[in-house]
Amino acid sequence: MKHFFPLLTTAALAFTINASAAIEDNYIEKYGRLNLNGKMFNGDPNNRQLSDKDGNAIRLEGWSSSAWMSQWGDCHQKRHLEQMKQWGARVYRGAMFITEEGGYNDNKEEAINQTKTFIDQTAELGMYYICDWHMKEGNPNDEVYSDAPYYFKTISEYVKSKGYIHVLYEICNEPNGCTWSDIKQYADKILPIIQENDPGACVIVGTPQWDQNINEAQENPIQGYDNLNILYSFHYYACSHQQFLSRLVNAAKVIPVFISEWSIADFDPEQQNSRKVESSCYTSAEQLINIANGTAGQQISWCASSFSEKESQASSLMSCENMKLSNTGMEIFSLLPWICCEPPCCLGPCYENLCQEVPGIVDLGRYDMNEEGNVEDMGFGKIGSSYVGGGEGVAYHELNSYSDEKNDRSLCNGAFKQADEDFFFRQDECVDAKACYGFTGQEGWHNLCYIEPEEWIAITLDIQEPGYYSIEALCNFGSKQVFGITSITYNCNLLVDKSNDKELNQIAFVSEVPDHGDENDKYWEWTAPVTDLDTKGDASNYAVLFKETGKHTIKITFQDGIETKPAGDLGPLNFTKVKAYNGLGYDTKNEDYLSFDNSLIFPNPSNGNISVATAGELIITDLIGEVVFSAQVEANTEISTHLKAGNYIAKVKTTNAVKVAKIIIK
């Protein structure tokens, strides 16, 4: 099995939309009416930040459109918003151009109706919406922007009539060539209108010099609007604006800030017209997000620009039609608070669109599909509508450290060379899967061969009944495997000891099939599990617990193999229900991995040096539940974890509670 790095930065990182699987979380119900009346930051009782209905500090992350009236296809249909939410966005900023590209001034009625549509759709999806008056040049008091009072009056009246609480108003995007006094004069025209129609709303006010001179707002904030929550905008282009980060840090200590537009791109439009992004830009983006994560004392919400397909550094998508993420989009995705599962969030369909049922036999060779569609020939071969290596890091992870001279796997076509009778099975992918040929000659099952530690596959199962399931493995001569089974859908371990419900990290199988020489592939036996490869202890109480029926994506991660070489084989798994389950579902689990506290760990992502907001016992596990770091920690004290790059779950146990966060080490 071979890891193909050239594909990981292009086609292998693209995955398709699955609008029907949009996340169910309703953030509007969860967080309620946002306000600035919540918890203080930096210890100053006069300094407050964006908070939820209960006064808890909150940070919204999401995308901004580029210009939803543009001719180059801004991805803003409802299905795009659903996918945006599934990727972790809790807020959408609709950038409505005023004078450019067929904007508001060209068709006011259409622009107002489109704004209302976005407001309705985000309300239905449970996302927050930023209504952005997207002026690009000049003073907001200029004649070309004179319709702003009418626009905000119309929209705020609509919000009031519908009883919505999820709309934020950004009253002037990137004012420039004017003073802070000019902007305040403009704000005094708009704020009373919003205050009358939508009292208690959050309003984002632009700052001079394309939202870079936030220091001027810091020195002289707007006063006199007690029934509004006023935040100040800061914009950032990671390839160009590093020198402005100190202004953001200083402002975040004094006034409420909203990074309503930022991008991994150059600010110069001439430089943007390319997909190429220098590595220094990604580093600069991480510096911004570290600040947003609270290093300046305030959790700062942000919208990445842009959710569009324009040929540009800033565009997160390659195509609005099939929703392929660009390299920039993948980086933005990695910074979002993944809600639905371990990334990549949206796996492809079940193999041949047929999800295997449990109870029953699960063919490991029928792991999930990745992408279907036309792709470029990357130099590794283009076969049908898929591509060589296309599922790496999405539906599987493959290695190829074992030298195999007999079967040429130089193009990572393990299945192509190894499939025996099933010669064409998944030949366009890297996985070493082949037929369990000779078992009875009828089943058509497959086994994984040359399995190495750290490889994994993802399979979506159709769970018919909740319960505890025993598993057997189909093994042939020499099969020795240790693996974990985790839930991608619910981000938790599935292996348990059914006698006490204690979670387990692994299960092992050791074959007792005798050596049949060259015909070993024809001899397979169902094998009961053991605790490990050394003691081969009794594992009769080991089970897989599915708490709910329906589609459930699991991840099987291989941890160890046979002793004489770093590879081994394993056939299908047989899931048999052995005990009923009538307890709580995953969504109400006490340790609730679905209730992440995004403010617990900072910076996040990090290089492994982190601070914890709450003192207590810190336990960090990998995504298969293995403890990789633990220590007693003090609040706001930097800790060196020395963890390798990856995604982890952090728990902080205090006397009264357990707090959980998902963290990223880069």
Domain CATH number, residue 486: 2.60.120.260
238, two tokens: 């990671």
pLDDT tens-digit map of 600-636? 888 888 888 999 988 889 999 875 566 789 899 998 8
CB distance 235 to 174 below 8 Å: yes
* C-alpha distance across the termini of the chain, in Å: 25
Over 60: is that where the pLDDT of 23 sits?
no
pLDDT tens-digit map of 330-373? 788 878 765 433 333 333 478 877 889 999 999 999 998 864 33
pLDDT average, residue stretch 632-655: 84
Q: How many CB atoms lie within 10 A of CB 526?
A: 13
CB distance 487 to 494 below 8 Å: yes
* Parent domain of 86: 34-335
357, two tokens: 């049922």
Residues belonging to the active site:
174, 261
Nearby residues of 225 by Cβ (< 8 Å), 6 or more positions away: 191, 192, 195
User: Distances in Å between the alpha carbon of 2 and those of 7, 408, 414?
Assistant: 12, 11, 8
pLDDT tens-digit map of 464-489? 999 999 999 999 888 889 999 988 77
Q: What is the pLDDT of residue 404?
A: 52
Q: Does residue 561 form part of some domain? A: yes
Residues 88 and 134 in one domain: yes
DSSP state of 57: B
Residues 618 and 533 in one domain: no
Over 90: is that where the pLDDT of 582 sits?
no
Residues 216 and 70 in one domain: yes
What angle do helix axes 148-162 and 108-125 make, rounded to 10 degrees? 30
Residues 359 and 328 in one domain: no
27, two tokens: 């953030």
**Of 426, 372, 393, 414, residue with least CA distance to 555:** 393
- Cα–Cα distance, 624 to 647 (Å, whole number): 11
pLDDT tens-digit map of 143-193? 999 999 999 999 999 999 999 999 999 999 999 999 999 999 999 999 999
Q: At residue 567, what are phi and psi to the nearest 5 degrees?
A: -155, 150
pLDDT tier for residue 30 given thresholds of 50, 70 and 90: very high
Selection from 117-126, 261-270, 287-296, 328-337 with the highest mean pLDDT? 117-126
Residues 640 and 568 in one domain: no
Residues 65 and 145 in one domain: yes
Over 60: is that where the pLDDT of 306 sits?
yes
CB distance 545 to 554 below 8 Å: no
pLDDT tier for residue 199 given thresholds of 50, 70 and 90: very high
pLDDT tier for residue 590 given thresholds of 50, 70 and 90: very low
Map residue 590 onto helix, strand or coil: coil
Q: What is the pLDDT of residue 437?
A: 66
The CATH number for 655's domain is 2.60.40.3080
pLDDT average, residue stretch 402-425: 50
pLDDT average, residue stretch 447-457: 85
What angle do helix axes 279-290 and 245-252 make, rounded to 10 degrees? 10
124, two tokens: 């239905």
Residue 405, classified by CB atoms within 10 Å of its CB into exposed (0-12), middle (13-18) or buried (19+), is exposed
Q: What is the pLDDT of residue 21?
A: 32
Q: Does residue 148 form part of some domain? A: yes
CB distance 516 to 522 below 8 Å: yes
pTM of the model: 0.55
Residues 576 and 646 in one domain: no
Q: What is the pLDDT of residue 172?
A: 97
Residues 53 and 97 in one domain: yes
User: Distances in Å between the alpha carbon of 391 and those of 7, 346, 400, 619?
Assistant: 10, 12, 15, 32
Kindly provide the residue ranges of all beta strands, DSSP E only, lying in 391-521, ordered along the sequence.
Answer: 396-397, 433-435, 446-451, 456-463, 467-475, 480-487, 492-493, 495-497, 502-503, 507-510
Average pLDDT, the chain: 80
Q: Does residue 223 form part of some domain? A: yes
